[in-house]
Amino acid sequence: MKALRTAILILSALWELVRYELLLRAGGFRSIQENMRRPVRRSRLVSGIAEAEICQAVGWALCLYWKPVLCLQRSVATARLLRKQRLDARVVVGCRPEPFVSHAWVELAGRVVNDSQQYKTMLPPLLQL
């Protein structure tokens, strides 16, 4: 049963990666922002999933995805899956102007869940979705 649950979660993560791509092509970054503001329906197929399982499933989905995935796409997919579990996940985009560095990550209750905690201290938040 756990293997089936994991497979469904990986397929859900793949769908979120594809969904991001479609939204970006259809309406640009603005459509991603608007979509992240809308409430997400609770997942009926897989419920009671821990955040670590979701992050791991997104990692597996990245291995199966046919295109390179940047941090924003990965973070949006992760946040949407976490929100389907009724967790208040936020995508944070941080930026440092000189030398220019930017990165996106997911936070739950102020804690980075899909990346290194150091990004939060190195890059001041520029945007939250």
pLDDT digits (tens, 9 = 90+) for 94-107: 998 888 999 999 99
Nearest to 101 by CA among 119, 83, 88: 119
pLDDT of residue 48: 65
pLDDT of residue 43: 66
> What is the rounded distance in angstroms from the CA atom of residue 111 to the CA atom of residue 117?
7
pTM of the model: 0.89
pLDDT of residue 51: 85
Q: What is the mean pLDDT of residues 109-123?
A: 88
Q: What is the mean pLDDT of residues 78-100?
A: 91
pLDDT of residue 45: 60
Task: Tokens 């791509």: give the residue.
Answer: 21
CB-CB neighbours of 109 under 10 Å: 9
Query: With contact defined as beta carbons under 8 Å apart, do 46 and 86 qualify?
Result: no
pLDDT of residue 71: 93
pLDDT of residue 81: 92
Segment 12-66, tens digit of pLDDT: 999 999 999 999 999 999 999 988 888 777 766 666 678 889 999 999 999 999 9
pLDDT of residue 47: 63
- The vertex-102 CA angle with 97 and 106, nearest 5°, equals 135
CB-CB neighbours of 41 under 10 Å: 8
3-state secondary structure of 126: strand
